[in-house]
Amino acid sequence: MSTHDADRAASPETRPVCADPDLTAEDEFSEVLRRHLVVLATTEYDDSDHGALPGVADEVKVLQQWWCDAGLGRRRFTVAHPELGQNPTLRQIEDALRSPEREWNDGDAAVLVVTGHGLTTREAHWIVLRSTSPTRVHKTALSTDQLIGWLADTDVEHLLVILDVCFAAATAERTVRLPEFPDTWLVLASTGAESPAEVGALTGAVAGFLDEVRSREGEQYDHGPYLRVDQFLDGVQARLPASQRLSLLKSELPRLGGPSPCLPNPRPQPAAPLVGEARRDLAIRAEDLEAHWAAKTWLFTGRANLMGHLVAALSAPPRTVVVTGGAGTGKSAVLGRLVTLSDTRFRRDHPELTAAVPPALLPPVGSIDAAILCTGKVPAEIVTQLLEAVGIPTGGGTTAELARWRTWLGGHARPVTVVIDALDESSNPVDLLASVLARLHPPAAAADGPLGSPLRLILGVRSPGTPTNDKPNSAGTDTTGTHAAAQPTGTNSARPYAEQVTKTLRGERVPVDEAPWWNTADLADYATEILTQTPRSPYHRPEHHQHATAVAAAVATAAQKSFLLTRLAATNLADRDTLTDPDDPGLAALLDDGVLGVFRADLHDELPDPDQRLRAIHLLRAVAFAYGRGLPWSQIWPLTANAVADRPGTYGDSDIAALLASRLAGYLVTDHEDGITVYRLFHDTLRTTLREQWRDLHDPPRSPSAAQDDQDDQDDQDDQDDQDDHA
């Protein structure tokens, strides 16, 4: 960061309202300083009633490979008390776990696996050791509830205990008498109360689950550093023999719905978020910077006039700016760039990208405090997200939360900036405007309205778009999506919603598809960047850049004012093996049906087989019906796909894995909601296409000759119209 940037970051005018805690924490369990794996395993027995268990060594190896994998980094566990893994004596166990040299405390996470034979008496469950005598159980065996009692007397906060021994579930009745466990503990028995353990059954089930987590199907599980407890339990139980089950040895349920530091995720970890959590909704995604279509330079330098105006607004006195435009005209992309470039983490971690940005297009560091995407969200959800972003306590209902927000805001002498996009895509846009946005300003600003408030709002709203003289397609419809209806459901006023927002909030309207903010050259530059910067593109070599410029101009002309169509078409061309001539009838055929046509071409190129193509359409269409952050994979996505296809039992995890391994995965955004991985289409126009025109997607693409015939017919009609006008 330059000295000038550092000065701006430290100034009262631009510093963030609250620091992002995730800027420095390596993971959400940063308080865990030490991680221990203890294996208590007995394989040989003096008493002939208990046969040897040579397979236990293999069980131990499987478990150690997971918890002690060096690839886990600081999430890795280290083996503690290794002597307990080889036929330990009762004294060794007591020395290690009852009277250790250093007792576990709240800075420790521990996993204890007990495997071998077990037995029950009338009053208790016992772990059989090598020297255990059936006639002297109290002296020669280890009481299971006593073992757990030793652990309960420590201050360890995060603990996983797996009892892979015969009749282990019988100890459940004993453990309820112990001091209450923390809800971060998970104590499991691997057998039914009346069934003996099968050697290798539990670790085989764990290993099978971990194999799936590492596979393509494992994409359905949480992508964070730790597995969710409920997913782990369900996955292991599904792989146990029918005679066995996992039993929770606790009088009350543990914390099942979240992750545990005792369950490190073995999947390769995704790239760290580019920005702090408060701005994640709208920021450019790390995946987009690495995607095959990404034009990194253009993402941060294009649309200079529009970007410069919004950057200037961040330093001007607070006001409301309403960014409008038709679907696909790039308003969300510009807001995403504004949010990303303002973020402290991004500016710190990516100086090579920000160095290429002209100073006039670079927002002050920390100048945006919160960024929210409204798609599919109810107004109350948006209010809660706003409060969480700036660290205000939530709860008590929307009215109470808004009151806390206004009180908090009224205490700030410096501006607070919030960017909110896709107002028209919320579940209730009218209520969002009247009951939330119009009530965000503090009471002290009532006399002057928004102009007297410390709150700076930058809002994104779809509008009808500016009419063009471009020709419609053969069906007589707009194909780019830029002129899609801008009147969201529930709006009764004849005035377009974008105008209602602007008037109600007394904002400045910035229509991105009108002069002076629209420049057709931006569209061609964007296409050129995709064609020339995609590594495997036939236009990537410098000697083909001039050709790419000509093709990009043809794409931009056909796309009218749609960055969405430009992106899809340029990506399709960049994925081909050979150059395409700008006058090629095939290019005209590709673009003639707009977003539908390019989407259809991608489907047919990737999946020539009609049945496979239909399966992909059904799977993508299921995602089109998701709201909020997206559709969960685990169980929900297959069920939804079967429902929209009206083909029960047709789709499963392998189908989804195949889709995500294909180029069609580029149409999806991977996100997280409540600790669960979810998927959504990257643009609302794609969702509409899949909902309403999915059968057209399955039809063969239009041939170049058909496109030329349509063009000739349109030219003849235009000539006739001109003659009529001059008659």
Q: pLDDT tens across 395-409, in order? A: 999 999 999 999 999
- Taking residues 321-339, report their average pLDDT: 93
* Per-residue pLDDT at 639: 92
| CA–CA separation, 314 and 458 (whole Å) | 9
Q: pLDDT tens across 363-389, in order? A: 999 999 999 999 889 999 999 999 999
Give yes or no for residue 452 having a pLDDT over 80: no
Name residue 127's beta-bridge partners: 118, 142
**Cis before residue 516, ω within 30 degrees of 0?**
yes
* Per-residue pLDDT at 361: 92
Supply 562's token pair. 């749609």
* Per-residue pLDDT at 241: 82
- Taking residues 200-209, report their average pLDDT: 82
Spell out the residues 6+ positions from residue 117 whose beta carbon is closer than 8 angstroms to its own.
42, 45, 50, 53, 128, 165, 166, 197
- Taking residues 179-187, report their average pLDDT: 75
**Which position has the higher pLDDT, 659 or 224?**
659
- Taking residues 70-90, report their average pLDDT: 94
When mean pLDDT is compared across 181-185, 190-194, 290-294, 631-635, the lowest value belongs to 290-294
Q: pLDDT tens across 593-605, in order? A: 899 999 999 999 9
**Which position has the higher pLDDT, 592 or 10?**
592
Helix axes 545-559, 585-592, angle to 10 degrees: 40
* Per-residue pLDDT at 675: 66
Give yes or no for residue 108 having a pLDDT over 50: yes
Give yes or no for residue 476 having a pLDDT over 50: no
Provide the sign of the torsion angle of the four alpha carbons 659, 661, 665, 670, taken in this order. Answer: positive
* Per-residue pLDDT at 718: 56
In the block, residue with structure tokens 């410069």 = 308
Q: Which amino acid is at 362?
A: L
Decide yes or no: CATH 3.40.50.300 for domain 277-511.
yes
| CA–CA separation, 694 and 687 (whole Å) | 10
Domain limits, the chain: 34-264, 277-511, 594-701
* Per-residue pLDDT at 247: 74
- Taking residues 434-443, report their average pLDDT: 91
Name residue 679's beta-bridge partners: 631, 670
| CA–CA separation, 292 and 383 (whole Å) | 36
Mean per-residue pLDDT of the chain: 83
305 in Cβ contact with 510 (< 8 Å): no
Q: pLDDT tens across 163-173, in order? A: 888 776 656 55
Reported confidence tier of residue 499, pLDDT bands at 50, 70, 90: very high
Reported confidence tier of residue 220, pLDDT bands at 50, 70, 90: confident
For 678, phi and psi rounded to 5 degrees? Answer: -130, 165
* Per-residue pLDDT at 336: 93
Give yes or no for residue 572 having a pLDDT over 60: yes
Give yes or no for residue 14 having a pLDDT over 60: no
* Per-residue pLDDT at 13: 32
In the block, residue with structure tokens 């408060």 = 278
148 in Cβ contact with 185 (< 8 Å): no
* Per-residue pLDDT at 61: 84
Answer yes or no: same fold for 34-264 and 277-511. Answer: yes
Share of the chain above pLDDT 70, in %: 80
CATH of domain 34-264: 3.40.50.1460
- Taking residues 45-51, report their average pLDDT: 89
| CA–CA separation, 106 and 702 (whole Å) | 65
* Per-residue pLDDT at 722: 59
Reported confidence tier of residue 418, pLDDT bands at 50, 70, 90: very high
Give yes or no for residue 21 having a pLDDT over 80: no
- Taking residues 250-257, report their average pLDDT: 60
Decide yes or no: CATH 3.40.1620 for domain 594-701.
no
* Per-residue pLDDT at 191: 62
* Per-residue pLDDT at 201: 78
* Per-residue pLDDT at 414: 87
Give yes or no for residue 613 having a pLDDT over 50: yes
* Per-residue pLDDT at 12: 29
* Per-residue pLDDT at 603: 95
Reported confidence tier of residue 474, pLDDT bands at 50, 70, 90: very low
Reported confidence tier of residue 354, pLDDT bands at 50, 70, 90: confident
Give yes or no for residue 412 having a pLDDT over 60: yes
* Cα three-residue angle 27-28-34, rounded to 5 degrees: 75
Q: What is the pTM of this model?
A: 0.75
Reported confidence tier of residue 494, pLDDT bands at 50, 70, 90: low
Reported confidence tier of residue 725, pLDDT bands at 50, 70, 90: low
